[in-house]
Amino acid sequence: MTGIKGKGPGGRELTVKVKTSRGRTASSQRWLERQLNDPYVARSKREGYRSRAAYKLIEIDDKHHILAPGMRVVDLGSAPGGWCQVAVDRVKSTDERKLVVAIDYLEMDQLPGVILFQKDFLDEDAPGLLKDALGGPADVVLSDMAAPTTGHQQTDHLRTTYLSEVAVDFALDVLKPGGHFLTKVFRGGAENQVLQTLKRSFASTYHIKPPASRAGSVELFLLAKGFKGRAKLDPRDQAAAEDEGDEQESWRP
């Protein structure tokens, strides 16, 4: 059973408290309480977004302008569809001219303007299906993929970093010159190798923690702008990339 959020004495917001329930673990109870008190969750329901994650992409794009009308976009790990909704709106994708291609092994309801595949991106034939559906080079590749969590932070970090590496490799194959790439990573050290790869092939790179990303979460986003083409693996190029700093944003809403 849950309480109801409303106004208390003096007009203050009342925080929802979740009562203990037989069969509910402490972690699930904390998750439920966090959801009920999350302003982004409430906002997503009011504004018709499928998940609070939509606001992460909105905040990043409002600042970095990676989406524009007419662009072709790939969304990796798209379910339940929040990022797709944002992309469709900003590139003006329609059922007559579908500019957004999405994939996830989880079931996701169809969206107007989206070519959707329910399939594991790690399947051997998945990249080819996405390329065929695009009908040309992509302007933007988005990846919100994350491995199912195990509760062991380093394991979760490494598994999600691997998904980021696979997403990078795909982006280097499908992006047009000047294109952009955005991926989720978990902090823990291994993500630095992903960053070095991006530095060699893009004009600029950024570490981003948008306001919609929960402060206590280990997630952050790597943004690479201005695709220059797949760089050759030369040790001297790698050393140069490591010497170049990427922008670590101090976000001011």
Annotated binding site for S-adenosyl-L-methionine: 81, 83, 104, 120, 144
Catalytic residue among 56, 98, 184, 199: 184
In whole angstroms, what is the distance from residue 120 CA to residue 198 CA?
24
Q: Quick check: is 184 catalytic?
A: yes
Q: 177-211: b or e for each residue (b if 16 or more CB lie within 10 Å)?
A: eebbbbbbbbebebbeebbbbbbbbbeebbbbbbe
**Which amino acid makes up residue 246?**
D
In DSSP terms, 185 is beta-bridged to 220
Q: What are phi and psi of 70, to 5 degrees?
A: 90, -10
Peptide linkage before 80 cis (omega within 30 of 0): yes
Q: Binding site membership: which residues?
A: 81, 83, 104, 120, 144
In whole angstroms, what is the distance from residue 190 CA to residue 159 CA?
10
**How far is residue 136 from each of residues 35, 73, 173, measured CA to CA in Å?**
40, 11, 11
For the annotated catalytic residues, the residue numbers are 184
